[in-house]
Structure 1
Amino acid sequence: MYRYDEFDAKIVADRVAQFRGQVARRVEGDITEDEFKPLRLMNGVYLQLHAYMLRVAIPYGTLNAAQLRKLAFIARTYDKNFGHITTRQNIQFNWPALTDIPDILDHLAEVEMHAIQTSGNCIRNVTSDQFAGAGADELEDPRPWCEIIRQWSTFHPEFSFLPRKFKIAVTAAPQDRAAVRVHDIGLHMKKNADGETGFEVLVGGGLGRTPYIGQVIREFLPKDQLLSYLEAILRVYNSLGRRDNIYKARIKILVNELGAEAFRDMVEAEWAVMDKARIDLPGDEIERIHAYFAAPDFENDPDTGDFDSAQGADKGFARWVRHNVRAHKQKGYASVTLSLKPTTMAPGDITSEQMELVADIAQTHCFDEVRTTHEQNLVLPHVRKADLYAIYQKLAPYGLGSSNAGLVSDIIACPGLDYCNLANTRSIPLAQRIQKRFEDLDRQENIGELKIKISGCINACGHHHVGHIGILGVDKKGEEFYQVTLGGSAAEDASIGEIVGRGLSTDEVVDAIESLISFYLDRRSDGERFVDTYRRLGPDPFKEALYVA
């Protein structure tokens, strides 16, 4: 993983010192909350419903054990003993005192972490596939390119005050695990006819009030020209993006209004006159960044120990392997998803004790590396198969052994009205009620892959638009209701879910979800996922099933 150089260290230290002074001025009353707001947002500090919230950057979701232990320390010392993994692979602390935040930032700087550009109208944390560098199906590790984008975009003077926030995701596998099609810019690494690896460039994706799937504006971009092409896109957006209407300020609105072809022509025209040599990195610098992401020192064909026999003897372990363990590019190794979706906690929450356990496991068994995922879980990317059973046994007592990755209880949910002052409804209690209804693991396995995603308001922080079943909280005369969308996907078959009818009351929604799933089980063909059956049959029969409940 990337290590700070002297420039990174100075940038972060100077920013912490600057923000410490800004906090002091706010506490002393020298500046108002309105004057303080843009300053705190530049440092990842939000004012939520009950308290300030700090969002910490985890670039492309990669952590080491020391960083995870530091996050555990912060959770225990400055929060209520937990953090929350977000859909941008970051972590949030929901209860820090404002006066403590500069100290928290100092602690983060000790382990090469920060909260810069986790909010505000700038280029946010660059996300990627949680199995990057490990997945058996990827072309190459996309994270060096994420790091190159991070360094290019941090404090970029031209893009520090964009019309609106801006999100970029990069993946290099045929299966899109980074949701690149619902980002402002999505980069999908592919090979051209000559066997060269480059980027398919998608622009204008996004969720929220007006959801869109990103559109391809370049079929193939050579890797060494990435930064200049990104800069051309951002220049067009910065010039033409709306600044008079927050609801029309995202690049997705601009691309939709102009049309993808016209937008592409503008980008290509801008790119043609740019001094690319001044922007794009020389080959030796690209190689230097790539060297930080060299593969670990894997054993050559290690013995798998009791991996096979343990599955025969322990059905719980066998189930965990089926759903939470993935093939690795290196023989004798695997990648493991650690579910943060037990019924006893909010989806995506992790306690300080759990963080410390995962840090110990990563240091002992996983080359000192952990990943966060946009689906609000954790991943151990490089684990010997021989170590899997021992790891599984360590996880269960800490509530991290759930065998539900990708199943109905593996729900994405925003914090909702329990924390957020923008939310209309609570998301966490609803997610937990659905998880409780479907907690039987045999039943979950029978249902198969099913992505349920819940947002407490139209801002769609829970990605409900791209859930196989999406649930949106709406306010009706002061009462909490939920609108259901069906058929969405954030993967390579990306689609925006369709609204299927009237909002459901809090008391109705879980029974309605059960009716949908029962209808699917009665109508599916062999091997069909919920979303496949929905696409085959269309919305009308599902709508009828939904409102029978």
Structure 2
Amino acid sequence: MPPASAATGRPTKTTTRPRRGEGQWALGYREPLNKNEENKKNDDGLNVRRRIIDVYSKGGFDSIDPADLRGRFRWYGLYTQRAPGIDGGKTAVLEPEELDDRYFMMRIRTDGGQLSVAQLRAIAEVSTAYGRDTADITDRQNVQLHWLRIEDVPALWERIEGVGLSTTEACGDTPRGMLGCPLAGIAEDEVIDSTDDLRRIVEDHIGSPLFSNLPRKFKTAVDGCSVHCTNHEINDLAFVGVVGPDGTPGYDLFVGGGLSTNPMFAQRLGAFVRPDQVSEVWAGVCSIFRDYGYRRLRHRARIKFLVKDWGAAKFREVLEKEYLGYALPDGPEPVLDPGTRRDHVGVHRQKDGRFYVGFTPRVGRVSGTKLGRVADIAEAHGSDRVRTTADQKLVILDITEDRVESVVAALEAEDLLVRPSTFRRQTMACTGIEFCKLAIVETKDRASALIDELERRLPEFTDPLTININGCPNACARTQTADIGFKGQLVTDADGNQVEGFQVHLGGGLGLQAGFGRKVRGLKTTADELPDYVERVLRRFLDQKEDGEVFAAWVARAEEADLK
């Protein structure tokens, strides 16, 4: 199939001679090259919704077609969670049906992290009613529930859709939940308010069959934030706020970022995008991925591999000539903040004179009950706007100055800290073996315990420091771009036993210090030794650092012995 118009999906040039290549549709090869592609060809994932409502919710778990269960369910945010009691050594050994529990994880889209009090309450209610009071804030600004029964999914959808939320394309080979600055429209120092531009993409394209069969997942960020809190460097497509050549705010365009086992930073195309062009340009980039993306091998099916092979110049040329039909002007690069904290934790003034209050759950782990309390606190203090962040945090907007300390006190009474330690503020963890079928080790409880230990052992430590803990090599918790990143694996302890542990990445970062973490040969730690290891390395950093030196800079010059 030839490339398609971004707006219509119709071909814009004649078909080229079919060639197997990487399974690229634009080169004429449409026959599925693996089971995933065959499954998508047989039936669009968007069609599974009616079967969930009409068949599976009534017939129960055993009525679910395996092709839907382990494939198309993802188009509506549903994955089977890991069956309890299966250790990490069996993750890559057992068949999918042996790992499956009869319960589901579900992601609820919160594009741009934007929630009203009514929406937050709806999530809290379905969590307590159907999900055993579970809820996690992810680093994609979504809310993730667990322990869901297929019988309850239609009622859950009815509740959240009644307040304008959705799970459509929250997972699967689709345009997943889109990142946006939680302070869009209210930050004093933002470059551009991206709220409407992000919303337009979602309204125009999410749920469209034009983009419901991509080679793999597609992650978007639309951000006018001055500190770049959505981490544009590691998104498939990112619109980054800049002031254009004529002095009008717009966006710089980045494509091809992503982590996992082959981390790559996004490449800057050098093109300036006006706000009114954002939806069309998004569709053009996504169409290139759909038509030229590599579908033969799943591990090469992300857009970053296409961008790496083509380069930024060719990608921009194809976008403009084959998909947009016009040239984008050259534009300026974004201005990167020299600071190392990209979050929005704490109390800060809005452009309208009111304040926002950013606060920290423990590594994103909350509950329906706790989210209900956040809704109550926001409403009691005159706010109807709560936001999630790309660092597993939350923000309440629109607090008048005289009520700030009351909000802070109410949140901290719920163990939602507004003025946290560095360790509480900047430690993240993925879902881990508790629920994830890909995981090898436990993460959430271990990360929470690590925070407590480091606060006890190093109360004087105040330097910015990110600690990211991941349960497998897939880097959902951004292992490679953390100051200290832990990649879960099985290791051998001092007694020769195989136990849960981590490979260590040191000195990663984004922004002006962008780089993937340093791996020292043989540097691993058991899970039980995690606090001892981090304390040891941080004490060496404190002893050896120069004035103003950040942790990543010290790692780059440190002797290997000091990193062990």
TM over 0.5: yes
Measure, in 1, the Cα distance between the counterparts of 2:531 and 2:557. Answer: 19
Q: Does 2:486 correspond to 1:453?
A: no
Taking only the aligned residue pairs, the percentage that are identical comes to: 27
The equivalent residue for 1:404 is 420
Map of 1:495 onto structure 2: 515
Deviation at 1:54, TM superposition (A): 1.2
Q: Flag the 1:206–1:185 CA change in 2: closer, same or farther, 3 A.
A: same
Contact 2:360/2:424 (<8 A) preserved: no
Amino acid at match of 1:42: W
Q: 2:104 aligns with which of 40, 46, 52?
A: 52
Q: Which amino acid aligns with 1:208?
A: S
How many angstroms apart in 1 are the aligned matches of 2:63 and 2:185? 49
Distance 1:476 1:525 in 2: 34
1:484 equivalent in alignment to 2:504: yes
Q: Is the 8 A contact 1:123 1:166 kept in 2?
A: yes
Aligned-residue CA RMSD in angstroms? Answer: 2.5
Return the alpha-carbon distance in structure 1 between the equivalents of residues 537 and 352 of structure 2: 40
Shift of 1:25: 6.9
Unaligned runs of 5+ in 1: 1-12, 277-321, 342-346
Matched, 1:145 2:197: yes
Using the alignment, how far apart are the partners of 1:85 and 1:509 within structure 2?
A: 24
Is 1:176 matched up with 2:228?
Answer: yes
CA distance 1:102–1:479, change in 2 (3 Å): same
What is the distance in 2 between the residues matched to 1:25 and 1:34? 18
Counterpart contact for 2:293–2:302, Cα < 8 Å: yes
Q: Which of 471, 492, 499 is the equivalent residue of 2:486?
A: 471
The partner residue of 1:425 within 441, 446, 449 is 441
- Stretch moving more, 421-430 or 249-258: 421-430
Deviating more after overlay: 146-155 vs 524-533 = 524-533
Q: Is the 8 A contact 1:339 1:410 kept in 2?
A: no
Q: Which amino acid aligns with 1:364?
A: A
Structure 2 residue runs without a partner (length 5+) = 1-45, 84-102, 329-343, 493-497
The answer on 1:352 being equivalent to 2:352 is no
Residue 222 and residue 52 in structure 1: after superposition, are their counterparts in 2 closer, same or farther (change >3 A)? same
1:203 to 242, 245, 255: 255
Q: 1:164 aligns with which of 212, 216, 224?
A: 216
In structure 2, the CA distance between the partners of 1:15 and 1:379, relative to structure 1 (3 Å rule), is farther
- Superposition deviation, residue 413 in structure 1: 0.3
Correspondence for 1:533 among 554, 557, 564: 554
Contact 2:58 2:151 in 1 (8 A): no
Give the deviation of 1:225 after TM superposition: 1.9
Alpha-carbon spacing, 1:409–1:435, altered in 2? closer, same or farther (3 Å): farther
Whole-Å separation in 2 of the counterparts to 1:16 and 1:444: 51
Match of 1:507 in 2: 528
Deviation at 1:540, TM superposition (A): 4.1
Cα shift at 1:230: 2.0
Letter in 1 for 2:196: P
Deviation of 1:30 after TM superposition, in Å, equals 5.2
Task: Give 1:221 shift.
Answer: 1.7
Instruction: Name the structure 1 match of 2:29.
Output: none
SS in 2 for 1:418: coil
Q: Distance in 2 between matches of 1:31 and 1:80?
A: 23
TM-score (norm 1): 0.82
Corresponding residue for 1:392?
A: 408
1:255 to partner: Cα distance: 0.8
TM-aligned CA distance change 1:107 to 1:248, over 3 Å = same
Deviation at 1:171, TM superposition (A): 1.3
Deviation at 1:217, TM superposition (A): 0.8
C-alpha contact 2:284 2:324 (8 A) present in aligned 1: no
Q: Secondary structure at the match of 1:498?
A: coil
Q: Give deviations 1:303-351, integer Å, cap 9, x for gaps.
A: xxxxxxxxxxxxxxxxxxx9622232233x222112102xxxxx21212
Tell me the SS of whatever aligns to 1:211. Answer: coil
Whichever residue aligns with residue 447 of structure 1, its letter is T
Task: State the alpha-carbon separation in 1 of the partners of residues 383 and 292 from structure 2.
Answer: 46
Q: How many residues align?
A: 479
- Distance (Å, rounded) in 2 between the aligned partners of 1:215 and 1:109: 36
1:20 lines up with 2:50 in the alignment: no
Deviation for aligned residue 1:207: 1.0
Q: CA deviation at 1:358?
A: 1.3
Write out per-residue CA displacement over residues 233-286 of structure 1, whole angstroms, 9 at most, x where no aligned residue: 22222222111111000000111122222222222222353799xxxxxxxxxx
1:62 maps to which of 114, 123, 127: 114
Tell me the distance in 1 between the aligned counterparts of 2:509 and 2:348.
Answer: 21
How do residues 170-249 of structure 1 correspond to structure 2 at under 5 angstroms? 170-249=222-301
Match of 2:175 in 1: 123
**Farther off after superposition, 109-118 or 508-517:** 508-517
Alignment-derived partner of residue 94 in structure 2: none
Q: 1:188 to 1:376 in 2, by over 3 A?
A: same
Higher-helix-fraction structure: 1
The alpha carbon displacement at 1:188 in A equals 0.4
Secondary structure, counterpart of 1:92 in structure 2: strand
Q: Tell me which amino acid in the other structure corresponds to 2:291.
A: S
Distance 1:193-1:359 versus aligned 2 partners, 3 A rule: same
With 210-219 and 487-496 compared, the bigger mean Cα shift is at 487-496
CA distance in structure 2 between the aligned counterparts of 1:190 and 1:39, rounded to whole angstroms: 38
Instruction: Provide the C-alpha distance between the structure 2 equivalents of 1:95 and 1:334, rounded to a whole number of angstroms.
Output: 36
Q: Give the structure-2-normalised TM-score.
A: 0.80
Shift of 1:190: 0.4
Q: Does 1:462 align with 2:477?
A: yes
Aligned partners of 2:490 and 2:296: how far apart in 1?
27
CA distance, structure 1, for counterparts of residue 373 and residue 460 of structure 2: 28
Q: Is the 8 A contact 1:524 1:533 kept in 2?
A: yes
> What SS class does the counterpart of residue 165 from structure 1 fall into?
coil
SS in structure 2 of the partner of residue 236 of structure 1: helix
**2:279 paired with 1:258:** no
The CA deviation at 1:480 is 2.1
CA–CA separation in structure 2 for the residues paired with 1:539 and 1:94: 43
- 1:427-468 per-residue CA deviation (whole Å, 9 max, x = no partner) reads 123312321212249x45633211111111111111111111
Q: Which residue of 2 aligns with 1:439?
A: 455
- Retained in 1: the 8 A contact 2:56–2:63? no
Distance 2:539 2:138 in 1: 30
Aligned to 2:202, what secondary structure does the other structure show? helix
